[in-house]
């Protein structure tokens, strides 16, 4: 009888009381960090987290077209600005989650580190191979990389040898598998992948600041806000740092 009463109570429980999953659309460069954080969040709260990773541009377009996301974490402030201007972001929920840098990586573990300056002969380093980058007109990592190469006067010498990938993780894999000898990815990608060698970090003043804004999507529930709050305290902030990101202001 007690079991029957308990079952009836559950059946009559309002839908709002049933735990809701949180669907997070996030930049591909945050795959490992958010995977760990989501697992911790679920263990501690019982709320499931569904993670969808891709280039920020692709995710922003999907959200603009009505994709069922609760939280968006972009690797570029401009794409968050687009959604905010379109009324897709919950006012007051946006904040800067973390920062990143871009680096030059190689497949050859024996390659020497370099100073990334206007005198760098990047074309010669490629030895006829390809320079892997995320889409330079759409994906944040590619946009930052192109901006840095332009700033340093290196773009024209290698433009014809650039292999563009749909997102930064795809560019990383081109180098990790040896399909491209060199690539430009985020610092966080390079330190998390043993199959590539980091040759140098691009000067901070060679590209716009690499900021990762996070926000709730209009129509999301309390669980989405709980996840955003969780991202801003330990252990989440520690996990993000462990994966090669910087805290804003740090």
42 pLDDT above the threshold of 90: yes
Tell me the domain boundaries of the chain.
19-99+209-242, 102-201
| Same topology between domain 19-99+209-242 and domain 102-201 | yes
Instruction: Report pLDDT digits (tens) over 173-187.
Output: 999 999 999 999 999
**CATH class of the domain whose range is 19-99+209-242:** alpha beta
Q: So what's the pLDDT on residue 152?
A: 98
pLDDT classification of 193: cutoffs 50, 70, 90: confident
Q: So what's the pLDDT on residue 138?
A: 87
Counting Cα atoms < 13 Å in the Cβ hemisphere of 71 gives: 31
Instruction: Report pLDDT digits (tens) over 73-121.
Output: 999 899 999 999 999 999 999 999 999 999 999 999 999 999 999 999 9
Instruction: Specify the higher pLDDT residue, 18 or 230.
Output: 230
**CATH architecture, domain 102-201:** 3-Layer(aba) Sandwich (3.40)
The pair of three-digit structure tokens given for residue 72, joined into one six-digit string = 């968006």
Can you give the chain as a three-state secondary structure string? CHHHHHHHHHHHCCHHHCCCCEEEEEEHHHHHHHHHHHHHHHHHHCCCEEEEEECHHHHHHHHHCCCCCCEEECCCHHHHHHHHHCCCECCCCCEEEEEECEEEEECCCCCCCCCCCCCCCHHHHHCCCCEEEECCCCCHHHHHHHHHHHHHCCHHHHHHHEEEECCHHHHHHHHHCCCCCEEEEEHHHHHCCCCCEEEEECCHHHCCCEEEEEEEECCCCHHHHHHHHHHCCCCHHHHHHHCCCECCCC
Q: So what's the pLDDT on residue 64?
A: 96
Counting Cα atoms < 13 Å in the Cβ hemisphere of 146 gives: 18
Instruction: Report pLDDT digits (tens) over 139-174.
Output: 889 999 999 999 999 999 999 999 999 999 999 999
- Single pTM value for the model: 0.81
Q: So what's the pLDDT on residue 249?
A: 58
């Amino acid at each position: 009888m007690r079991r029957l009463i308990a079952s009836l109570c559950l059946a009559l429980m309002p839908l709002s009381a049933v735990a809701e999953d949180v669907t997070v659309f996030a930049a591909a460069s945050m795959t490992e960090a958010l995977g760990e954080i989501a697992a911790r969040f679920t263990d501690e709260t019982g709320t499931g987290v569904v993670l969808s990773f891709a280039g920020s541009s692709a995710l922003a377009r999907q959200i603009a077209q009505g994709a069922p996301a609760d939280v968006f974490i972009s690797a570029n402030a401009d794409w968050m600005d687009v959604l905010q201007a379109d009324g897709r972001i919950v006012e007051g929920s946006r904040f800067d989650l973390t920062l990143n840098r871009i680096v030059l990586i190689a497949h050859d573990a024996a390659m020497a580190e370099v100073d990334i300056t206007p005198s760098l002969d990047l074309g010669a380093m490629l030895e006829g191979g390809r320079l892997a980058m995320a889409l330079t007109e759409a994906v944040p990592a590619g946009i930052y990389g192109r901006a840095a190469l332009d700033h340093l006067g290196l773009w024209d010498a290698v433009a014809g040898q650039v292999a563009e990938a749909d997102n930064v993780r795809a560019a990383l894999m081109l180098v990790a598998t040896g399909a491209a000898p060199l690539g430009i990815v985020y610092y966080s990608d390079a330190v998390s992948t043993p199959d590539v060698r980091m040759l140098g970090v691009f000067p901070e003043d060679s590209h716009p600041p690499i900021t990762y804004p996070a926000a709730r999507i209009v129509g999301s529930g309390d669980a989405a806000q709980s996840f955003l709050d969780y991202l801003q305290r330990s252990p989440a902030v520690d996990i993000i740092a462990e994966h090669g990101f910087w805290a804003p202001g740090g």
